[in-house]
Structure 1
């Protein structure tokens, strides 16, 4: 059975839109509005939304697996994640290395293939893979924590959120630059999504306040106001918002996600918007090539750079992502069938074991 969480694709669409608007800044022929500090700073906001969504979705899937089978299979999880993330990223990286090998330092190539790009600060072609590196590092750690039990996992997520502002302040005090690129400084953004997934029963008590259109507007305004701090011309203000303000931003993002997936707004579930959300991973990979503010090439000039970015993303989605998603579906179905045949879940008042299944789609 396919179980798709409403509105997530729509939220992904708006997230990738923020990244694209940000990267249009400085490209040839791009409208001047894209050069404003506010718009230029929206790229990181888009990434934060992706991070919170990832934490929420992965934890939801792990909880569903534990509920249905009584356990969590780390091997199955890593196979599913590898098929979802690695093929498209490796195809992109390989093409970039072949086309621009003279321009890309070896350490950046290694960072892209081995997912430590968030600790590398070189060039433009592969630098955006820093966010994928953080997500991959998260995937290595979080499922194992969840295997120890969701009560303990919830405490880990809560403490991560509480301590991360102090970690960021300490990093600034020690002279770190671009604090928002390190896994140990943005772990709370992913942890916020994890905690959201594990707090659904408690949040439902407040649905009469949380599930109103005005609540969604309040969360959105709060996010945009904090984003203004990130776009400040004053370094001290940026440091304040990047160390402390981001905590409030990610909590507001989590509140907005809860509001949107339960309210099921038409715009977020409108097919053209959802389609962009489905395409968001490939778009994120390929937009950097064409939205290059350091290049004067014809393919990096507006508006053809946008058209070419979408065409490359479509090619990546249909030629790489789709075949891998189909393979993952087949492998997941076989693995789940095998595990459910081996595990009998407690019966609900009858002599027959209750067996249910859920097929991952993300």
Structure 2
């Protein structure tokens, strides 16, 4: 395995105001254990991330949504403090979209994948995803994009109740709206009322046919791709539980081979010309078809499922090697690897309850720097 350039630190960027997902802690641990200096700019200080012994320093972001101009100033200030270029690693959709938009003015300060313009935003948009699946002939749940409340009610009836309702740009939702990114709609009147909240949500409402789930219906793919499109490490896995059941955020999983998932993921990455981390969420229907439900260009909640057993290489380590010019042979993760329960897992026993517990990491909290907003 190639050695890491430990002179190049990593700045994790998470703009979502909620508590950091378990993936953020996993990234801190993985990079820190490789000897890489890890910093984090987080919109929320809650959770065990801030207390991990592998975190060198945390930067506290100002409260509330950040426009790109003050975020650019903040990232420049952090760069001045670091005194050398760093890998910028977004940990959520907001961060990935912002980093892509600011890539040019951040040149020389941060290392980022070379993405096609606007790609992270396009992939995170649920309406754009439906169009992408149509263009590539990938299975995707039947989707309606109503333009008024009556169309929403009619579409819900046509798709077959209950239906899944999604806001096309969920990263625009704020806690003050009281809205969830995904909702199960049981009546046509509920669909009508939800559409009337479109202005509050800040993006379009989608209604999707609900796919019958099961214990082996939820699948993911995590991978990291080099600039030339080569998959440095990647593979599929199956999630085991989620909360709410069969909807919402994914919980524990197991690395399992599946040729259909792998072919779909590699074909999509090649079609997009993707460079960097890519995560995909699938649901298998009763006919064995894998429907693509979501895409993201940051480490997903279960990215540690895909880890090379001999080298410890995962997608965040592979990205650091790639962006710092270190060559790395293709790596394969071992089938059967399990990921620990994350923030949103259903409790299953004492071992799960202790996963990510602050006392497991605490050795003195790293210093916190409170970042100011530009006036």
TM range (shorter): under 0.3
TM-score by structure 2 length?
Answer: 0.24
Larger RCO, structures 1/2 (Cα 8 Å, 6+ apart): 1
- What TM-score do the two structures reach when normalised by structure 1? 0.25
More strand by share: 2
